[in-house]
């Protein structure tokens, strides 16, 4: 009988010891922050967009921490500055975040050029990366289960442009792009691939080879020879220059563009020039976006101007929700576990679209009506009719 009591006592001590250890460990873990990296252009080319992406991600972190973090653990965001004119630092920025800062996931980077560098690194380092502003073309050479994208499908955006062209009777379209690589080439290829479905013929393709050179007169002259009804190109603050130079050379046709155009900077520089000349596709906005915009203005003092401000906000929310699901299920909070949860997530609390679900390549599934076509009327960007 005494032997049984001794064994029972030993078992009880072991159970109590284990309970006390787990309780203490839980309290210790609750006090530890979870580090998440963030990458975008904070200076240099594209910094106006990159800073908004950083703000969007930060707004999400502050919201998460205010509401209890991940089962009591706060999120700490560590940002790195990477832009097109600093592409060579993409790799070192990611390596630093993973190996030095010990982040469990990364939101970013911005645009396809740096994202294409991030894809193989996400695979090699086994680090979940969600880009708020890149396209599926970044995985053409290397595919990674650790890389995701929350930006709307540009293919849907291009189809929105083509629907508008068909409605307006623009049957002959010339492509004039600042560059022949990255996003510029990707959107041009989408335009070519779908043009015939809408009765549109691509009559000319002209590409610049130096982003610093904004003299498009030679490209415009070649396009003009084909007598297009409209010109297509993806621009960011450069649409004003393109239209002005085209008009100076007698090419008075509309410019069709993607969400990269239609910037406040371009509107401020040449409202009259853009009026009736620029038409661009951009993601539509619903009531959830209005709530995001209100919170963004309250925090940063101005409206978000780039669509990727909200997709960065949602990228951070999705990342943290994947962490929460991992913890709640009782599994170790690991990079692989986070990746697995992101892969199967159905997130309905975002602001960019009603439901965030990723396809087999890891990019958000976009509905056919996600984009609207806008133009300039009365000195403002309004939906085009």
CA-based nearest residue to 275, from 231, 229, 243, 304? 243
CATH architecture, domain 33-152+286-343: 3-Layer(aba) Sandwich (3.40)
Condensed to tens digits (0 to 9), the pLDDT of residues 232-264 reads 999 888 899 999 999 999 999 999 999 989 888
Query: Across the chain, what does the average pLDDT equal?
Result: 91
The single-letter DSSP state of residue 180 is S
Task: For residues 137 and 353, give the distance between their C-alpha atoms in angstroms, rounded to a whole number.
Answer: 22
Condensed to tens digits (0 to 9), the pLDDT of residues 139-183 reads 989 999 999 999 999 999 999 999 999 999 999 999 999 999 888
182-195 vs 154-168: helix axis angle to the nearest 10?
Answer: 50
Task: For residues 90 and 30, give the distance between their C-alpha atoms in angstroms, rounded to a whole number.
Answer: 32
The hierarchical CATH code for the domain 154-283+371-383 is 3.40.50.2300
112 within 8 A of 138, measured Cβ to Cβ:
yes
What pLDDT score does 182 carry?
Answer: 84
What pLDDT score does 17 carry?
Answer: 44
Q: What is the mean pLDDT of residues 218-222?
A: 97
**Which residues lie closer than 8 Å to 36 by C-beta, 6 or more apart?**
61, 75, 76, 77, 78, 103, 104, 105, 106, 107, 316, 319, 320
What pLDDT score does 31 carry?
Answer: 58
Q: Is the pLDDT of residue 209 over 70?
A: yes
What pLDDT score does 27 carry?
Answer: 39
Say what percent of the chain tops pLDDT 90.
Answer: 80
**Which residues lie closer than 8 Å to 24 by C-beta, 6 or more apart?**
none
CA atoms within 13 A on the CB side of 267: 17
Say what percent of the chain tops pLDDT 70.
Answer: 92
Q: How far is CA 237 from the centre of its chain?
A: 18
Q: Is the pLDDT of residue 29 over 60?
A: no
What pLDDT score does 12 carry?
Answer: 39
Using pLDDT thresholds of 50, 70 and 90, give the confidence band for residue 287. confident
Burial 132-169 (b: 16+ CB within 10 A, else e): bbbbbbbbeeeebbbbbbbbbbbbbbbbbbbebbeeee
Lowest mean pLDDT among 224-228, 262-266, 270-274, 374-378: 262-266
Query: How many C-beta atoms surround the C-beta of residue 122 within 10 A?
Result: 27
Using pLDDT thresholds of 50, 70 and 90, give the confidence band for residue 18. very low
CA atoms within 13 A on the CB side of 59: 27
Lowest mean pLDDT among 24-28, 119-123, 209-213, 303-307: 24-28
What pLDDT score does 369 carry?
Answer: 94
Condensed to tens digits (0 to 9), the pLDDT of residues 43-64 reads 988 898 999 999 999 999 999 9
In the chain, residues under CATH classification 3.40.50.2300 are 33-152+286-343, 154-283+371-383
The single-letter DSSP state of residue 139 is G
Long-range CB contacts for residues 92-95, cutoff 8 Å, separation at least 24:
93/39, 94/37, 94/39, 94/118, 94/121, 94/125, 94/127, 94/129, 95/121, 95/125
Q: Is the pLDDT of residue 72 over 60?
A: yes
Q: Is the pLDDT of residue 265 over 90?
A: no
């Amino acid at each position: 009988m005494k032997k049984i009591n001794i064994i029972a006592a030993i078992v009880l001590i072991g159970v109590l010891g284990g309970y006390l250890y787990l309780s203490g460990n839980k309290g210790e873990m609750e006090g530890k922050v979870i580090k998440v990296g963030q990458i975008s252009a904070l200076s240099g080319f594209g910094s106006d967009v990159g800073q908004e992406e950083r703000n969007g991600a930060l707004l999400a972190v502050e919201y998460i921490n205010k509401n209890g973090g991940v089962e009591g653990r706060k999120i700490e965001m560590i940002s790195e500055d990477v832009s097109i004119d600093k592409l060579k630092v993409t790799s070192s920025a990611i390596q630093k975040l993973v190996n030095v800062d010990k982040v469990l996931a990364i939101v970013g980077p911005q645009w396809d050029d740096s994202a294409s560098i991030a894809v193989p690194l996400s695979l090699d380092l086994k680090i979940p990366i969600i880009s708020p502003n890149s396209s599926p073309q970044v995985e053409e050479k290397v595919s990674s289960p650790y890389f995701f994208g929350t930006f709307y499908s540009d293919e849907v955006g291009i189809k929105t442009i083509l629907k508008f062209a068909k409605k307006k009777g623009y049957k002959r379209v010339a492509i004039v792009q600042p560059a022949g690589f990255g996003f510029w080439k990707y959107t041009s290829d989408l335009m070519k691939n779908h043009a015939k479905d809408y009765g549109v013929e691509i009559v000319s393709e002209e590409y610049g080879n130096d982003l610093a050179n904004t003299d498009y007169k030679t490209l415009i002259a070649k396009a003009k020879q084909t007598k297009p009804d409209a010109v297509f190109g993806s621009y960011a603050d450069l649409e004003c220059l393109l239209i002005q130079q085209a008009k100076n050379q007698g090419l008075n046709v509309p410019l069709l563009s993607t969400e990269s155009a239609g910037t406040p900077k371009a509107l401020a520089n040449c409202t009259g020039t853009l009026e009736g000349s620029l038409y661009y596709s951009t993601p539509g906005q619903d009531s959830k976006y209005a709530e995001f915009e209100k919170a963004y203005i309250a925090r940063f003092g101005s409206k978000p101007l780039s669509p990727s401000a909200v997709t960065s906000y949602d990228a951070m929310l999705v990342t943290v929700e994947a962490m929460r699901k991992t913890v709640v299920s009782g599994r170790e909070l690991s990079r692989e576990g986070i990746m697995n949860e992101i892969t199967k997530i159905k997130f309905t609390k975002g602001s960019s679209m009603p439901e965030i679900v990723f396809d087999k390549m890891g990019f958000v599934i976009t509905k056919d009506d996600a984009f609207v076509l806008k133009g300039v009327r009365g000195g403002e960007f309004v939906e085009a009719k």
